[in-house]
C-alpha cells in the first residue's frame, strides 16, 4: 500500500463506521435488502444512501491444442456506492469507489502514481423541466452494455465488443433531456463534453477533448423501473418494450489506445466512433444487440519495429454483439451470446469470434445471484480457447 493511499483508506473506514453507527441508532425496518442503507437529515436538507457490492469469480481456460488448463479465483469487483440529494431534490449526487485490484489497477505518472479508486463522482442538476446537467466524473453516454451497471448483467461479464470499443468514464459535463413523442413513445437526448483521457487522470490535457452525442427512442413507452438499463427481464414486462439507441463520439487528439482506456501512445490521433444498440423485453424474453465502428484519422498505427511489426496502435475496426435469454418463473435464466470483432488489419490484430452459453440463478434480482457461462474464444492467428466462468454477486 502506498503512503498516498493510507490517508484515503483511513478516511473511508471512518466514513463507513460513522454511517453504520448512525444507521444502527435509527429504525432500520424500512431498509430493504438490495436497496442500500438510507438516511435523511431532520430538516430534509440532504439524503444519503450507502450500498456495498462484491463479486467472487472463478475462471478456467482450456487449450484443446496443447491440452493445457489454467485457472484463477479473484474478487472481480468490490464497490462502495453513495448517492442522494444535497440541499434540494433537484440536485443529486453519485459517488462510487472501486477497491478491488482490477478496479484500481493502472496507476502511473498520469494519475500521480496512485491507485485509481474513484469510479464516479458526479452532480446531477434538474435545472428546468426535463433538462438535467451533469458535472464530474462518470460514464459517458456510450454503448448500452457499458452504461448498464456491471452488477446488472445477465452473463458473468460484458462482451469483447465492449472491451475493445467502449468509451468508459471521463471527466466533463453532460446535458440530458427527455420528452414524449405522441401518446406512448419517449425520446431521450444526451450531449457530452469531456477531457477525453479517462478517469482519475491528473496531468494537464495532452491534446483535445471528447465530444459525444446520444439519442434514444422507446417507441412502446417506458420499461418498468428503468428496465432498459438492466439486463434480463426480471419484471416480466406484460407488454412488449423496445429501446433503440445511437451514439456518435469524436475524441480529438486521443492519446490512449482505446480512447479513454488502454496504454498511452506516443502520437495522438483523432478518433471517430459510431455505436448502435437495441434492447427488447417481453414476458421473460430479453434480447440485446450492439454495433460499434471506430476509425482513426491519419491511420491507427503509431509505431512499428524496423521489420514492420506494429508496436503501438489504436483499437480500430468494427464489432457486433447479440445476446438473448429467457427467464423462467423460478428465476433461473438461460442465455446465448455471439460477438464478432473485425479488427483493423493495419494494426496486425486478428479478428475475434466468441460464442457464449450462460445460466443464471437470481435469488434477489441482481442483488444476490449466481452465474456461470461457457465460451468458445476464437482469434485469427491464435489457438482456440474454451473459457469457463462461475461468479457469485452480492449487493445491499
The total of other beta-carbon atoms located within 10 Å of residue 317's CB is 22
At residue 3, does pLDDT exceed 90? no
At residue 2, does pLDDT exceed 90? no
The confidence score (pLDDT) of residue 126 equals 98
Superfamily (CATH H level) for 5-395: Porin (2.40.160.10)
Region 288-317: mean pLDDT is 96
pTM: 0.90
Question: How far apart are the C-alpha atoms of 317 and 379, rounded to whole Å?
Answer: 15
Binning pLDDT at 50, 70 and 90, where does residue 16 land? low
The confidence score (pLDDT) of residue 5 equals 54
At residue 24, does pLDDT exceed 70? no
Tell me: the pLDDT tens digits for 216-244?
A: 999 999 999 999 999 999 999 999 999 99
From 20-29, 89-98, 241-250, the region with the lowest mean pLDDT: 20-29
Percentage of the chain lying above the pLDDT 70 cut? 93
The confidence score (pLDDT) of residue 12 equals 57
At residue 14, does pLDDT exceed 60? no
The confidence score (pLDDT) of residue 17 equals 57
282 by Cβ neighbours in 10 Å (0-12 / 13-18 / 19+) ranks as middle
The confidence score (pLDDT) of residue 23 equals 47
Region 35-60: mean pLDDT is 94
Map out the domains of the chain as residue ranges: 5-395
Region 372-390: mean pLDDT is 97
The confidence score (pLDDT) of residue 156 equals 98
Residue among 206, 200, 91, 186 at smallest CA distance from 137: 200
> How many angstroms separate the Cα of 298 from the Cα of each of 251, 275, 347, 395?
13, 21, 13, 45
At residue 373, does pLDDT exceed 80? yes
Tell me: the pLDDT tens digits for 150-197?
A: 999 999 999 999 999 999 999 999 999 999 999 999 999 999 999 999
Cβ(297)–Cβ(269) under 8 Å?
A: yes
Average pLDDT, whole number, for the chain?
A: 92
Tell me: the pLDDT tens digits for 59-109?
A: 999 999 999 999 999 999 999 999 999 999 999 999 999 999 888 877 788
Cβ(165)–Cβ(319) under 8 Å?
A: yes
The confidence score (pLDDT) of residue 108 equals 82
Amino acid at each position: 500500500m502506498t503512503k498516498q493511499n493510507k490517508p484515503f483508506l483511513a478516511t473511508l473506514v471512518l466514513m463507513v463506521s460513522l454511517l453504520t453507527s448512525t444507521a444502527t441508532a435509527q429504525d432500520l425496518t424500512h431498509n430493504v435488502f438490495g436497496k442500500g442503507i438510507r438516511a435523511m437529515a431532520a430538516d430534509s436538507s440532504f439524503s444519503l444512501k450507502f450500498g456495498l457490492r462484491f463479486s467472487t469469480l472463478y475462471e478456467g481456460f482450456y487449450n484443446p491444442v496443447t491440452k493445457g488448463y489454467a485457472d484463477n479465483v479473484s474478487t472481480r469487483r468490490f464497490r462502495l456506492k453513495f448517492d442522494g440529494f444535497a440541499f434540494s431534490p433537484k440536485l443529486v449526487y453519485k459517488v462510487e469507489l472501486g477497491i478491488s485490484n482490477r478496479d484500481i489497477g493502472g496507476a502511473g505518472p498520469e494519475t500521480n502514481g496512485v491507485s485509481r479508486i474513484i469510479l464516479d463522482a458526479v452532480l446531477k442538476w434538474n435545472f428546468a423541466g426535463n433538462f438535467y446537467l451533469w458535472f464530474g466524473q462518470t460514464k459517458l453516454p456510450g454503448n448500452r452494455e457499458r452504461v448498464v451497471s456491471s452488477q446488472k448483467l445477465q452473463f458473468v461479464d460484458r462482451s469483447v465488443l465492449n472491451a475493445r470499443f467502449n468509451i468508459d468514464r471521463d471527466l466533463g459535463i453532460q446535458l440530458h433531456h427527455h420528452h414524449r413523442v405522441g401518446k406512448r413513445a419517449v425520446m431521450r437526448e444526451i450531449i457530452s463534453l469531456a477531457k477525453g483521457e479517462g478517469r482519475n487522470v491528473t496531468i494537464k490535457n495532452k491534446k483535445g477533448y471528447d465530444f459525444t452525442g446520444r439519442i434514444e427512442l422507446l417507441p412502446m413507452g417506458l420499461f418498468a423501473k428503468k428496465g432498459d438499463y438492466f439486463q434480463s427481464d426480471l419484471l416480466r414486462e406484460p407488454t412488449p418494450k423496445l429501446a433503440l439507441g445511437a451514439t456518435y463520439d469524436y475524441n480529438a487528439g486521443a492519446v490512449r489506445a482505446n480512447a479513454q482506456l488502454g496504454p498511452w501512445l506516443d502520437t495522438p490521433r483523432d478518433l471517430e466512433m459510431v455505436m448502435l444498440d437495441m434492447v427488447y423485453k417481453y414476458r421473460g424474453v430479453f434480447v440485446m444487440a450492439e454495433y460499434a465502428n471506430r476509425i482513426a484519422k491519419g491511420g491507427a498505427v503509431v509505431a512499428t519495429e524496423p521489420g514492420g511489426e506494429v508496436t503501438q496502435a489504436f483499437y480500430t475496426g468494427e464489432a457486433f454483439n447479440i445476446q438473448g435469454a429467457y427467464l423462467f418463473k423460478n428465476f433461473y435464466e438461460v442465455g446465448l451470446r455471439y460477438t464478432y470483432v473485425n479488427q483493423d488489419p493495419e494494426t496486425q490484430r486478428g479478428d475475434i469470434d466468441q460464442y457464449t452459453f450462460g445460466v443464471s440463478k437470481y435469488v434477489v434480482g441482481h442483488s444476490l445471484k449466481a452465474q456461470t457461462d461457457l465460451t468458445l474464444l476464437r482469434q485469427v492467428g491464435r489457438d482456440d480457447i474454451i473459457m469457463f466462468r462461475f461468479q457469485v454477486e452480492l449487493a445491499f
